[in-house]
Structures are given as C-alpha cells and as structure tokens.
Amino acid sequence: MSNNNGILPAGRQIVVSGVRPTGNLHLGNYFGALRNYVKMQNEYDCYFFIADLHSLTTHPDTKELKENVLHVASEYMACGLDPNKVVLYCQSDLPQTTELYLFLNMMAYKGELEKTTTFKDKVRLQPENVNAGLLTYPVLMAADIMIHRAQLVPVGKDQEQHLEMTRTFANRFNHRYGDVFPEPRAFNFGEQLLKVPSLDGAGKMSKSENQYATIYLSDDDDLIRKKIMKAKTDSGPTEPNSLKPDYIENVFNLMKLVSQQDIIDKFEADYDNCNIRYGDLKKQLAEDMVNYIAPIRQKARDIRANEAELNIILKVGAQKAAESADKTISAVREAIGLKYF
C-alpha cells in the first residue's frame, strides 16, 4: 500500500476521528461528517471516539461532561454508526493515548504550537485560561491518530492544520527513533462532502454561532419549525428566472437534503415564475425536516435511556481500542529504548 510507508501490513486502511463532547450534533455534522462515517464503516477499520480530554482544555467544569459524552455516543449510534462494525470509545478510557501524548510532547516545539491558528483563537476567547493543555491540543490530537497508526482522518477544513502537525510529529518520530508511524492524511469524500448552510444566510451551520440558525439533531419538532420559519427570505423575485440570492439558495439547499424531488421542482418553478410564496416553502421544508430528524432524535433517546447497554458498548469499545493501542505503545517504547526487561 502506497501511503503507509511499508510500516503496516497490507490490509484494510485505518481510519480515526474524534468529536469533542461540547454541544449537540447539528445538521452540518450529520450531512457533513456522520453520514460519511457510516459509509466508511464497511470498508475501513474505523476508530471513532469522543474527545473528552480535549474538552477539558476549554471546559474545566465537568458537571455535564458525563451526560454530554453519553449524549454524543447515543447520537452517533442513532445516525447509523454500528459499534459492531467500528470501534467506538471514549478518549479517556484509552490511557495509551496519554502515554503517547507525553512522548510526542518531547518533539513538539513551543514555537510551532504557539503558531497554531486554533491556539491563537482560544487565547483570544479565553485569556484567563491559557493552559498548557490548550497549547498542546494538537499533540494530543496527533496521539489520538497515531495511537492506532491511522492513515486516514476524516475531518473538516478547520482541522487541516492539526493534521499537518500530526504528519510533522510522525515524521520526526520516525526520523529520530525509527519507522513506527504512517503519515496520516485528511480523508473526505470530495464532492460528496456537503456543506449545510446556516438559516440566517451567513456561512454554514456550526456549534458555536447563532443558535437559531442551526438545527440540532436533538431539537424537538416545534423548535425545528420555529427555526425554519425564521429563516431569512425576502419578498421574492420580480424578474422571471432570476439568480437566487445566497440566503434563498440556502433554503433550497436545505430542501434538497430532506424534501422530495417533485416538491423541490415545484418551488423552483414558482421561483422562476415569480410566484413563489416563501411562507409555504418554509412550512413544507419545516415538515420535511421534522420528518427527517424526528426518528433520529427518538432513536438517540432510546439508546441514551438504556445506560447499562451504553456503558457496555463503550467498555467493549475501549477494550478493542486498547488492543490496537498496546501494539503501538510497545513499538514506540521499543523504538525509543524504554524496554529494560
């Protein structure tokens, strides 16, 4: 296989990705990432984890941590991730990651860490808590990826720099101590990677920005309706076949995710004929969105309600993750020269 430096036996490629348990999953996560994870689970050896340790860099208060971790795990499974096909675990249940993090910290330089975009952003956002964990966030992320010697990491654009740093650390390690790690690269589905527009016509849906412009998988039916009815529109085109302004294009794009083709065609034709009624369009979109999300939300609730079962899933996930992690740690210790007996 070309991109594993010949370090790993040929076989299925290894995929790793993580999500911080700091907020609900939204439609952007669903169409942008989760649906692709679900596709990957049949073709790759996938490790998906909940990055609870990373969340400590920004959320020192842990009162809601456990609930958030279980919530994310439930939503992942409700979206179709099957714990029998992927290794689903919680980051803090795999202490091998933190051991590798320590080794990698010895080859991560203060200067390069300080230059990381996400670090600079966080310094601005939380000047009262610029902790060393925040500075070494990319090192922990590299450890997450390298602990399974992953080749493929499905992440969004905002994580590219971290991935670049992971490659740097992997190469540095190999150079210093001998080949242990492949070079991981970003994995996305190219054109299939959907960007879900936000409802206020500005950018895409995101966890942190305008909450009313983002639809969460946990939103109840009425909230979904309310958010959609508030989506930005105008009084409609005055010239036949006009170009759509961005915010109108966005609403149509949302329709394309959840509505039937004939319904979309009808509203497209109304638009082109200048007799579109955005109130009707939004009502239709709201119902189609409700019908799309309600079963996922219900499934997540059902999974979350069976906590004993959920605990077993995460425990078995951690055990499976440990099998792969132990092999890496053993190779790492050997390469560094930390085997005394």
Binding residue ranges for L-tryptophan: 144
Minimum distance, C-beta of residue 212 to ligand TRP, in the bound complex (Å): 23
**Residue 69 or 255 with smaller CB distance to ligand TRP:** 69
Binding residues for ATP are 20-22, 28-29, 156-158, 196, 204-208
Residue closest to 30 by CA, chosen among 212, 196, 233, 211: 196
Contacts for 80 with CB less than 8 Å, ≥ 6 apart: 34, 35, 38
Catalytic residue among 195, 207, 244, 327: 207
Instruction: Read off the tokens for 195.
Output: 């960007």
- By CB under 6 A, the count of residues binding ligand TRP is 12
Q: Is 122 part of the annotated catalytic residue set?
A: yes
* 155 sits near ligand TRP (criterion: CB under 6 A): yes
CA distance 106 to 142: 13
The stretch among 104-112, 151-159, 297-305, 308-316 that binds ligand TRP (CB under 6 A) is 151-159
The stretch among 24-32, 141-149, 195-203, 245-253 that binds ligand TRP (CB under 6 A) is 141-149
**Residue 32 or 237 with smaller CB distance to ligand TRP:** 32
26: helix, strand or coil = strand
User: Could you count the other beta carbons within 10 Å of the beta carbon of residue 115?
Assistant: 12
Minimum distance, C-beta of residue 121 to ligand TRP, in the bound complex (Å): 12
**Residue 34 or 145 with smaller CB distance to ligand TRP:** 145
Q: Where are the beta strands (DSSP E) in the chain?
A: 14-19, 45-50, 87-90, 152-153, 185-186
**Residue 214 or 284 with smaller CB distance to ligand TRP:** 214
* 145 sits near ligand TRP (criterion: CB under 6 A): yes
Are 150 and 14 a contacting pair, CB within 8 Å?
yes
Minimum distance, C-beta of residue 150 to ligand TRP, in the bound complex (Å): 8
- Crossing angle, helix 95-105 and helix 160-177, to 10 degrees? 70
Among 15, 16, 289, 318, binds ligand TRP (CB under 6 A): 16
CA distance 18 to 94: 13
Instruction: Give the residue numbers marked as catalytic.
Output: 122, 204, 207
